[in-house]
Structure 1
């Protein structure tokens, strides 16, 4: 962004406002009149707030100084606006101004017919700011509003999803704070990375048993870690498809009848055009093991989206991959 100086920050927060352009404030509107929304952006430096992040930010790049060109938006509520697979695109006006008397300039979006909405209650589910041309695949995500489930949520006062109301003909201002985007910490924003990248997903389910020395089966407590497959058998780890702070772990317990049980673990995988290859590892967890890093590796290997689809039944119902550790029927990989 040519108008703003980011001294040494990788992360920045942006306040964004929804605003309508139909009528002056205070003028009564006829019943049924729609509200028009646009967005105003305010950029602030958060370099002093690094303590909000659980991992070190040393050596991370500075925030991009590219000018915002368009935003992608997903709203739910009285009317649905966009989806994660197909968000609404709204152009950003190239000329910023100062509308709140702070030292920074604010950008605003152009008027959009997609944001002419019926009065009612809405929830902002997703908000992302890009540079470049929406039709150009080389455009990049530069800012994003963090989700409440992400470890970067502490950098902002209000995370997504965010509820708000729209009145007939009234101007509505909603502050939306966003962070500068870095794909090396993509999972920290609280979204699945393929949601951010706009890819489709397929569901992969896993269940496991282990056997004692007599061959009796017991439900297993386990953790699954999955990466994109790098293409190299000697170093198969590509991009992680899980959050190390919140990995995929199934639940175990004892039911009301006193029987041990374990749940099937299901999680999404990116499903783009062509063949998608993944590399996975399954760890059995014993009492006292660290849930995030402990356990015993029992299954590892490369698999594809075709392998996952082979588990689908009628109506896209999904069967699960079943591993059996220390049992007569052993594991052969994914």
Structure 2
């Protein structure tokens, strides 16, 4: 078995499983303005049967000690939330007096009077091997200590404090028992990794799952029973946040060697779905697996888990739906697809006409405005631009929609979802019918616009089974279109189809360098509506 070396010191010190009540319940006073400094020395007390009556009842549970000589300690001392000596990122080293268990004098340990907290204490031999560790309050081993971390130290003027610091031998048992996440202290690269899960009921309906995550390495638990955060939108639709954890990228394992084991357990969600039996999915991850999901701090692709979702049944995802997991998103808000518009700083104005007896009326029935917001939104871990388009009739907004779009490294523009707010003719809010979000309730993104369209190309724009399954076919890439704004050449034309609207389709026209310029809607083969780009407004 490998000698598992796990996590960066800063993770070890800061990412604890247990909080310390003593620290929360005591508000540290401000630093004394007195010039007098008090020299603090620490006396290390290794808890054992001979000097700790509380531990005598737990003889078999005490960690085993290694046969070596203590040489130095590493500590963090805080006052309130302020680091005074050392920090989680860089603990402070103090050598022990020769042949003794108390620390040498160092100027960094001379401090003004006040209430302090020893937040961390670890004992090492001369070679740097961890020998002893002060357990955290609330941890199983913390119950053996009279002063678990954080330990209060009250420095008073005129005193020479020499407090005992109880520590336990460190024997590579599960570090959870000491109150920490990982069980060794070695510098290691840490990668953030996220899980997301869906559950499908007996009717094939997708739900965001409520689930727990357990993770271990070579049988040692590093995360236990982390439960997803779930909730409900105002629109009676449900959501779940991904469960994200820090995983060590351990160089002693081969790149493709699986060493991290995970267990995902489906949990009941009251009022949403019930379970007749326990569902558990297990798996393992290698360094390559971790790296494949990591594309910078702001872009981590989720490990997507499906419970009871039959990919071979009626809910089979169509081949024409592009796979977002195969796309790279290095700079997803930098939209360079030539068929997209408007660019930032512009508003496009459109006018829509309902044909009467096949003729275009003199006046438009609606006015549409499209603009790109300054804000962005993260969808499925991908930072996406927000495109706002709103429809007005007789000066009243009937529909106000935010579309979420992101471009991959190949230039494909992805449709990540939308929030659509609907109003009646008097401007009263009706609801958000038509809204959806990729990664929520089984919905998946598709192409808003492909990077290199070709005639005959078919692609799905969205996949929210039974709700939104629109797809498009490229029918031309070199059309010439004339509007009141001019003549546009090499225009892309797509035929957009909503499978839930029988005998209805739309032709959409996109001009390179401008974007969407025209739309024609057909019902039963007859042209019924036309929308034209009629103005480009520069925003001051």
Report the equivalent of 1:114.
108
* 1:191 CA displacement: 0.9
2:247, 2:149 → 1: CA distance? 23
* 1:162 CA displacement: 2.6
Aligned length: 267
Deviations 1:201-248 (A, max 9, x none): 3322212111123321112232333333xxxxxxxxx252425xx433
Indicate the SS of the match to 2:285: strand
1:88 pairs, out of 87, 92, 116, with: 92
1:154 pairs, out of 143, 147, 150, with: 143
> Taking CA–CA contacts closer than 8 Å with sequence separation of 6 or more, which of the two structures ends up with the larger relative contact order?
1
* 1:183 CA displacement: 0.6
Looking at CA atoms only, which structure, 1 or 2, has the larger radius of gyration? Answer: 2
1:61, 1:110 → 2: CA distance? 27
* 1:180 CA displacement: 1.7
Change (3 A) 1:262 1:86: same
Task: Report the RMSD for the aligned CA atoms in angstroms.
Answer: 3.7
Report the equivalent of 1:129.
123
* 1:195 CA displacement: 6.5
Is 1:325 the counterpart of 2:307? The answer is: yes
1:74 pairs, out of 66, 73, 76, with: 76
Report the equivalent of 1:36.
39
Deviations 1:10-41 (A, max 9, x none): xxxxxxxxxxxxxxxxxxx9933433322113
Partners of 1:86 and 1:198 within 8 A in 2 = no
1:122, 1:204 → 2: CA distance? 35
Change (3 A) 1:66 1:175: same
Indicate the SS of the match to 2:98: coil
1:45 pairs, out of 44, 48, 62, with: 48
Higher mean displacement: 269-278 or 146-155 = 269-278
Report the equivalent of 2:243.
265
Report the equivalent of 2:370.
none
Partners of 2:45 and 2:164 within 8 A in 1 = no
Partners of 2:196 and 2:302 within 8 A in 1 = yes
* 1:300 CA displacement: 1.0
Indicate the SS of the match to 1:208: strand
Is 1:204 the counterpart of 2:211? The answer is: no
1:118, 1:195 → 2: CA distance? 34
Gaps of 5+ in 2: 1-31, 270-276, 318-540
Indicate the SS of the match to 2:245: strand
1:1-334 equivalences in 2 (<5 Å): 31-46=34-49, 49=54, 57=60, 62-77=64-79, 78-96=82-100, 107-117=101-111, 119-131=113-125, 133=126, 136=127, 139-166=128-155, 170-193=159-182, 196-228=185-217, 238-242=218-222, 246-252=224-230, 260-272=238-250, 278-287=259-268, 295-304=278-287, 306-312=288-294, 315-316=297-298, 318-327=300-309, 328=311
1:223, 1:30 → 2: CA distance? 50
1:151, 1:219 → 2: CA distance? 34
Partners of 2:64 and 2:170 within 8 A in 1 = no
1:321, 1:108 → 2: CA distance? 49
Change (3 A) 1:185 1:273: closer
Indicate the SS of the match to 1:227: strand
Partners of 1:52 and 1:152 within 8 A in 2 = no
Partners of 2:193 and 2:294 within 8 A in 1 = no
1:74, 1:271 → 2: CA distance? 26
Partners of 1:241 and 1:269 within 8 A in 2 = no
2:153, 2:173 → 1: CA distance? 32
Gaps of 5+ in 1: 1-28, 97-106, 229-237, 289-293
* 1:319 CA displacement: 4.7
Indicate the SS of the match to 2:173: helix
Structure 1 or 2: larger strand share? 2
* 1:83 CA displacement: 3.3
* 1:90 CA displacement: 1.0
Report the equivalent of 2:422.
none
* 1:194 CA displacement: 5.4
Deviations 1:245-269 (A, max 9, x none): x433334466787655434222222
Change (3 A) 1:196 1:260: same
